Structure formats: C-alpha cells, structure tokens
Structure 1
Amino acid sequence: MNNPQQADTAHANRCRRLWRWWGNNNKPPRLLQFRSSKPFILWVCAFSVFSDIFLYGLIVPVMPFALSDRIGVEPGDAQKWTSILLTVYAAALLVGSPICGWWADKSNTRQVPFMFGLLLLAGATLMLALARTLTLLVVARILQGLSGSIVWVIALAMLADRVGSKEIGAHIGTIVLARSIATIAAPLIGGVVYAKVGYYMVYVTAFIFLGADIVFRLAMIEARVARKWDPSIGLPAPQEDSVVEKSEGSEKAASTPRDDCFSINMQPRKGRIYHPVHYLPPFIVMLGSIRLLLALWGCIVIAILFGAFEAVIPLFVEAMFNWDSFGAGLVFLALLIPTFISPAIGRLADKHGPRWYVAVGYVLTMIPVVLLRIVTRNTLHDKVVFCVLLAFCGAFCMFFEVPIHVEIMLSVEEKMRQNPKYYGEKGAYAQAFGLGNLMYALGLIVGPLWGGYVVESAGWEVMTLSLGVMCCAGAVPAAICTGGNIFTIKKDRSSEVKGQEEPQRVSLSVEEALPTPSSVQKPDSDAIRVYSSAV
C-alpha cells in the first residue's frame, strides 16, 4: 500500500523541482541571476550561431560523395547540384529573416521561435542524413536555411535586449568570432570524420552539438522573461544621446529626425487617428531611414565579397598554383583567421561609435581586394602575396562588419524614440536584424554569380577591381550618415555653443521671470477718473 503512495510522492516532488526550475508567478526560477546574466546569454547565443554554421559546414565535404554514392547523381553533375543546394539555402535564409524578425518582436518571448528554429535544424539534419532523393535534400536545405534565419536574428535580438547599445559591439564581435571558428572547424572535422569513421558518424557528430545546444537554450532565461522577477535585468531605457556621438546631440534629438540623415518620412504621424503606415509592419517603415539603409548596404557588401571568394578562389588557385581541393581549403584560413579580431573592433565601436570604423573599413578593404590582381604567376612570391592579401581582406572587413550591426541597433533606437507608441514596448530589434540577415542572404546569392560571371567574361583582374569598387562605394555615404548626419550634428554643436554665450537673462527660471509686486507699475488714478466719467 505504501509503495504506490511513495512513488506518487516522489513523482510529485520531481514535478515540483522541475516547476521551480522554470519558476512561476510567485517564485523566480532557480539560478535566475546566472541564467539571465550577460555572459551566459552571450554564451548561448554564440553557441547557437556556432552550431548553425558548424552543421552547415560539416556536410560540405560530404555532400559531393552523398550525391554520387547515395542518390546516384552523375559525377559531372555533382558540382551543379551542390551549387543548387547552396542557393536554396540562401533563398530560404532570405525569405525567412524578415518573417522571423516580425514574429520575434510580436511574441511575448523570443524563446519560443528560438526553440522552433532548433527543431527545424534538427529535422533538417536528420533529413540530410537519411536522404536518398534530390527532393528530400532540397527540402532539408530549405529547412536549414529557415533555421539559420531564426538563429541569427533572435540571437542578435536577445543580446540587444540584454546588453543595450553601449555594449552591443563587443558582444556581436564575439558572435562573429563564433561564426569564424565554426566556418574553419566544420569542414575539417567533417572531412576527417567521413574519411576515418564513415558517413553516418558525421551526422552523429552533428547531433552531439545539437544536444548541447538544446540544453543551453532551455537553461537560458531571456531578459524579457527575467524582468518579471527582477526589473533591473535587461535593456535600460534608450539613451538620450546616441553612443555614436556622445556629446553631439541635444534634448531635441529624441523628437526630431536629424539623426536620420535625409530621412524619408515614413513614420506614423502623431495625432492622426488613421494613417496607412499604422498598418505596415515596422521593418517596412524602418526602410525609410537612410541611416539604416546604409548599414544594410554593409551587410550585402560583406556577403557578396565572401560569396564571390568562395566561388572563385578554389578555381583560381587550381588554375594558377595547381593546388588541389585541400590546398584550396587551407587558403581560406588566411581569410578567416584574421576575423578573430572582431571582438576588439566591437569594443572600439562601442567606445568611439561606428562612423569612422565603417568608412575607413570600406577603404582599407578595397586596397587588398584590388591588389589581388597582381598575383599572376606560379611562384612562391606570388603565393605568399596572395595569402597575405587575403589575410588583410579578412581583417579589414571586420572594421565595417561589426560596427554596421552596432549602427543597425542605434538607428532602430532612434526610430523607437521618435515614435514609441508605434513600435511598442517590445521594440523592433529583431526586425532590424532580420533585414540585415536578409541582405546578407541576398549577398550570398549575388556573390557567387558576380564572381563567376565576371571571371568568365572579363578575367581575374577585372573581377577583383569590381569587388574593390563595390567596397569603396559606401565609404563617403557612411562617413556622412553613419551615426547621424555629420553636417547637422556640427550645426547643432555650433548652436549649443552660441546658446551658452547668450546673456544669462535668456535662461531665467519661472520664478525669476514672474514680476515682483514692487516692480509692477501702479495705474494712474487720474486716468481712472477720466475713464469712469466717460462711461
């Protein structure tokens, strides 16, 4: 008789312990401070991005063999289908990013779409492991692209919720670092595991990382949820003056769109009961910001550049240096390892603002990209020069890739200050980062086509020149508009200086401005008598 009762009691105790782990309205969950802390949320977001890129790259060396051995694609068509699958992934990433951003901003918690993205990734990985038809492979790649859009958008939005604009650069730099490590490690591990252990062990490795990702995501408590029990957790109120120019603004910065640099007026008008813009999602309204559009340009530039390199460099080193696929893979280390400086660049952007890092980064990146044209011979000197130039390309790209994400957040905060009722308490960070992810996906589609077409039609030299011109094209607009219109900012500064030089009487208090009884002129008694007699 006691055994069933003891079993029920033990089960109830386990349920209570599990309930305490998640928390309720009266009691906070266990380890709330740790599970909602900045370092832990950064770790979870970075690991989720690492897992997404790792699973994407893990199967890259395996896919040609899977196409020929398991699906029966002719060896001559393997490269074509590999390119098609990569394009399908980028297209799903492009379509899913703005939708995911809108969903994440409208939902009460970002955890739900975050976990949904992980389920999509697990399903896509399982389908890739078991696929024996091209249709199943295409569907799996679509799911993988949708998962990637969710992971990137929500990871950046969660960081924005937790750390705010003052520290977002350093944290995004860490996310970029995780992406670089996964990009380097995944193909190497996938190739070694496939060669030594076999096909299915590659996917066993993938599910090990997925399992760890599930544990971390379930353990994390996002800032929105943590504020139920501790209001001090999470994003502080938007700063009155943007971190970009700490002493530039004035009190009217919160109400005037001077920071938006020739902004297109798509904001909902105050005092109107009806206006068509009210029915548009915020990510469409935000496209009226020239400042945000320039940041999105940076997203597509970095994606086109890396996409073109991925498509062209393997063929170039094979034709120029007679390197095989292993050598072509190793040469990308020269491009990726310098990107490890991204956290340091992020901290600098937090401290000084993104304007000049973005503008100078465009110009610096153009130089080694154009100089790649001088590699024309199969000599040791040219091989060294080629690798060094790629290293400079990777390092200089970080000077604008990380700061443009800081600028995306700052421009959204400016929009939210201008019209807080329209954007609501939940804000629009996820939608803004969704637009950035959309442009990055578009660049992944355009980049290989750009690089391949120009090399085929005009040659290597023209291809590097065209990419260099693309990089430099955004330098001047970025210098003018990133962080706000630089000319308007200088005008505001001069106005403030003139205001400080005015006589002190201009800034009298209300009490000082009111007349005192002694200063009020008494009416003339004779005039009053004349007026009375006239009446």
Structure 2
Amino acid sequence: MSDEDHGQTEYGWRSSRILIISTACLALFTETLLYGFVVPILPYMLEVRLHIDPSQTQSITSALLSVHGFATLILTPLIAAAADKTPNRKIPLIISLVVCLGGTVLVAFTPTLWAIYLGRILQGVSGSAAWIICLAMLTDNAGPGRVGRVMGLSMSVVMTGTVAGPTVAGALLEWMGYWPAWSVPIGIILINIAGRLITEEPQKPPPSPPRTEEDVENAETSPLLSGSDSECSAETFSQDKDTCLPAPSSFYWVMLRDCRVLASISTTTVNSIIIAGFNATLPVHLRAIFNWGSFTVGMMFLLIRIPTIVFGPFMGMLRDHVGLRYPTALGWLLLTPLIFCLGIPSGPEHHGKEFFVTCIACIGLGSTLIQGAGVLHTITILRDVELKQPQIFGRQGGLSRVFAINEVSFNAGLMFGPLLAGGLTEAIGYSYMNIILAVICFANAVFVFYFFEKGISQSEK
C-alpha cells in the first residue's frame, strides 16, 4: 500500500479527495459570493438603516467596495508566504472562515458606517487567505494529470459565486426582506466551517530524491556548474546563471521583469477594474435613469456573468487550439465599443432600456474571451522559465506565487475600480466614465496582442 493510500485509509472518508476538493470549492464560492452580495443591498443599508443622504450613496458605495480590495492587496503576499510554510491547511482555513463570519455579521447588522468598513476589511482579508489556501489544496489533491480539470472546475465555481452574489441578494431583499437575505451567506459560511472541521488532509510522504535519469544527471552536474557555490541548496540554485538565488525574492525579480507577465497582470487588473466599476456604479445609475429596483439590477449582473459560466469550457477548448493571444486581444477589442455604447442611454425614452440590456448581454459574451486569461498566461510563462532554468524557484516551483501575483493584481482592480468608476461618474458623468474605460480596453488589446504568447508553451503540452 502506498503512502497516499495509507494516509487516506487512516482517516477514511474524511480524507477522501472528493470531500477535500468539494470543501475547497465551497469556500471559493463563498468568498466570491460575499464580495458582490452587498452591492444591491448597500443603498438600502445606507439610506434606510443608517439614514444617510442619498446624494452620498455613490461615493460611500465606491469606498466600501474599494476597502475590500485594499485590505487584500496589502496582505496577500504575506498570506501566500505563510501558506507555503504550513504543512496542514485545516486550521488556517477554519480561522479565515471564522473571521469571514465575524465580518459578515458586522456588515449585516450595520450598527454604524465605520463598522461596515471594518466588516468589509475582515471579509477581504479572510477571503484572500481562503483563496490562496484553497487553490493550494486543490493543487495538492487533484492527483497526477488532473490539475487542469480541477482548476477549471474551481473557476466555474468562482464565477458562479460572482454571479450569485448580487443576483441572490437583490432578489431576496425585494421578495423576502433584509434579514432573510443576509441569512443565506451566514448559513453558507457556517456550512463551510462544519465541512472543514469534518475533513482531514492525508499525511504527505516526505519528498523523494530524483529518480529519473535526467534528474540524476542534473544532480550530479549541479555542483560543477555552480563552482564555489556548490553548497547551495536545490531550492536556491539557478542552473543557467551559475548563481545561488534566494527563491522567495528571485521569483518576483525574474517574473516581474518579463513584459509577458506584465501583460498578464494588465489583463487581470483591468478586468477586475471593470467588474468592480460596474458593481460601484450600476445600482445607482440604473435607479436614476430607469428607476430599477434591486431585483432588476441583480438581473443585469446575472446577464453579464452567465455567458462565462455557459461558454467557459468551450473557451478552454479554443485556447487549447489557438493559444491565448488572439482570443484575449479580440475580447478586449470587442469590449471597447460595447462599454462606450453602455453610456449612451440617458433615460427610458428611445428604447434606452432595450439598448442598455443588449449592451450588457454583449459585454457578458465578450468577457468570456478574457476571463482567466491572465492567470493562465502567467502559468505558461512560469513553465517556460522553469523549463529553461530548472529549480530556479525552488524544488516545489513557483506556482503558489503565481496565484499570489494574480490575486494581488485582481485585488488591485477591486480597489481602484470603484474609485475610478465612481469618481469619474461623479466628476464628469456616467457616459464619459464609460468612454475612459473603453479607451483602457483598447490600450489593453494592443498590449495583449504584442506581448501574449501565440500558443501553448512546450511545457504545458
């Protein structure tokens, strides 16, 4: 019996791969649901529960959505470094879920405005920790040759949470009331905690020495290549440069100097800016021009996200055949006129509602070409670098730090998106704000076209 089978037998069904993957996916779903859940409810919370002047709703909404991204932007690299050193991820994930529960309860009770800010910060920090821990759990428990399928499943779950947040919140608030709406995320978090208490990760066997002919050959020649640096460990040895590079710092130094990685970061960041910008401006804008309530606003968010859930697997097949460059550049190019047109309707006359809904639906379709492209491209670049310089980022590689780079990029967009979209809407109007976002999309299309890889790297095949 192998070590892995022995570990699974020791705990029985509690350490089954399916259960561990399911609890990780549920945690990812919960964290993405919570970010957008508050969006349709915020006007009610601010104006009815806290009696704040409606003229301040837009600016406060933008600030509350930004503080979520700001907290995660600062702490994500520290959380990623700590997660890499944690042998068992059960306790850290439980702690993050408990913190998330506290932040959600604080936001839901809405005692004061500063308490909502504190609750959003707690949600952001716990969400970032859960995201990194869960991705590591999925990678560890996927099994040989199944990482891609498991990660694809997790991304579908994440997008479902993104869609469900504002949609479910808007519908429950309008149909059932304030507290029935908040009971849903609080109940899901409690289920998360219970599920994580039940599961037990199997004991991992100690890493074995290199066994293949190539590994043995590399191990025998490494001291000769490094010369006087022969005492360097395998985790710090760079074969091409004949130097000892500290793995934690050299990863960011090597990767962030590559324009291809910067293009990946740009794609992830701008995409999250648009998502967060819509979250910050659509509820107030649609109430002002069409007098739409929380349910209809929630349906607009559903219309944006549902194409990614439906067509996501087909997009994966397309990327496998033609690579990432052309679909991603085309996606940004299509979003340019669509986001520009989104700002044209100024009222219910002249079929403004129909035109607006059509633009939203087309933006959702165009976004399928962009979703996930940034992280996939960064992983492709990582594999190319590690193929040319084996163990440059340590024996375990740099995959977890790739997740950290993209998490920071996405959270930067979550922080700046509401400030940019909300600030521009208040300063120059909703239509001109959309023009600026359209220009950013066009610039990103050019950046992606010049720096994204044409196809899949050899190491990914």
TM range (shorter): 0.7 to 0.9
The 5 Å alignment of 1:223-234 reads 225=202, 228=205
Aligned mates of 2:337, 2:118 — CA distance in 1: 41
State the partner residue of 2:123. 144
**Closer/same/farther in 2, CA of residues 385 and 163 from structure 1, 3 Å limit:** farther
1:457 to partner: Cα distance: 4.5
Contact kept, 8 Å, 1:365 with 1:397, in 2: the verdict is: yes
State the partner residue of 2:233. none
State the partner residue of 1:305. 274
The 5 Å alignment of 1:208-357 reads 208-218=187-197, 225=202, 228=205, 270-272=241-243, 280=249, 282-340=251-309, 341-357=311-327
Task: Encode CA deviations 1:166-186: one digit per residue, 9 max, x unaligned.
Answer: 766665454343334334433
Unaligned runs of 5+ in 1: 1-21, 232-236, 238-266, 490-535
Q: Which has the bigger relative contact order, CA under 8 A and spacing at least 6?
A: 2
**Closer/same/farther in 2, CA of residues 414 and 106 from structure 1, 3 Å limit:** farther
Which of residues 313, 329, 347 is equivalent to 1:359? Answer: 329
Which of residues 417, 421, 424 is equivalent to 1:451? Answer: 421
Task: Encode CA deviations 1:39-88: one digit per residue, 9 max, x unaligned.
Answer: x5553333212111333444445555555676675666565544433222
The reply to whether residue 397 of structure 1 matches residue 378 of structure 2 is no
1:193 to partner: Cα distance: 5.0
The reply to whether residue 470 of structure 1 matches residue 452 of structure 2 is no
Task: Encode CA deviations 1:267-312: one digit per residue, 9 max, x unaligned.
Answer: 7974335x6x567263454212322221111111111112222233
- Cα RMSD (Å) of the superposition? 4.0
Aligned mates of 1:173, 1:483 — CA distance in 2: 20
Which of residues 360, 375, 383 is equivalent to 1:413? Answer: 383
The reply to whether residue 35 of structure 1 matches residue 16 of structure 2 is yes
State the partner residue of 1:371. 341
State the partner residue of 1:55. 34
The 5 Å alignment of 1:158-173 reads 158-163=137-142, 171-173=150-152
Aligned mates of 1:314, 1:131 — CA distance in 2: 19
Contact kept, 8 Å, 1:407 with 1:482, in 2: the verdict is: yes
Counterpart of 2:266, as a letter, is W
Q: Which moved more, 1:290-299 or 1:65-74?
A: 65-74
**Closer/same/farther in 2, CA of residues 393 and 200 from structure 1, 3 Å limit:** closer
State the partner residue of 2:96. 117
Counterpart of 2:131, as a letter, is W
**Closer/same/farther in 2, CA of residues 156 and 458 from structure 1, 3 Å limit:** same
1:436 to partner: Cα distance: 1.0
Match of 1:211, SS state, is: helix
The reply to whether residue 177 of structure 1 matches residue 150 of structure 2 is no
Task: Encode CA deviations 1:96-124: one digit per residue, 9 max, x unaligned.
Answer: 22222222223334444333322221232
Aligned mates of 2:170, 2:428 — CA distance in 1: 34
**Closer/same/farther in 2, CA of residues 82 and 169 from structure 1, 3 Å limit:** same
The 5 Å alignment of 1:181-200 reads 181-190=160-169, 200=179
Aligned mates of 1:182, 1:227 — CA distance in 2: 31
1:435 to partner: Cα distance: 1.5
Match of 1:401, SS state, is: coil
1:200 to partner: Cα distance: 4.9
**Closer/same/farther in 2, CA of residues 67 and 191 from structure 1, 3 Å limit:** same
Which of residues 196, 205, 212 is equivalent to 2:184? Answer: 205
Match of 1:143, SS state, is: helix
Task: Encode CA deviations 1:176-235: one digit per residue, 9 max, x unaligned.
Answer: 43334334433454456556766555444333212322344455566xx5653999xxxx
Which of residues 385, 388, 393 is equivalent to 1:423? Answer: 393
Q: Which moved more, 1:68-77 or 1:175-184?
A: 68-77
Aligned mates of 1:204, 1:456 — CA distance in 2: 33
Q: Which moved more, 1:66-75 or 1:308-317?
A: 66-75
Contact kept, 8 Å, 1:358 with 1:403, in 2: the verdict is: yes
Aligned mates of 1:26, 1:377 — CA distance in 2: 61
Counterpart of 1:389, as a letter, is C
Query: Taking structure 2 as the reference length, what is the TM-score of the superposition?
Result: 0.77
Aligned mates of 1:129, 1:447 — CA distance in 2: 23
Match of 2:370, SS state, is: helix
Contact kept, 8 Å, 1:105 with 1:427, in 2: the verdict is: no
1:137 to partner: Cα distance: 3.1
Query: Taking structure 1 as the reference length, what is the TM-score of the superposition?
Result: 0.67
Unaligned runs of 5+ in 2: 213-237
Aligned mates of 1:169, 1:27 — CA distance in 2: 26
**Closer/same/farther in 2, CA of residues 83 and 130 from structure 1, 3 Å limit:** same
State the partner residue of 1:384. 354
Match of 2:396, SS state, is: coil
The reply to whether residue 434 of structure 1 matches residue 415 of structure 2 is no
Q: Percent identity?
A: 28
Contact kept, 8 Å, 1:50 with 1:179, in 2: the verdict is: yes
Aligned mates of 2:115, 2:292 — CA distance in 1: 34
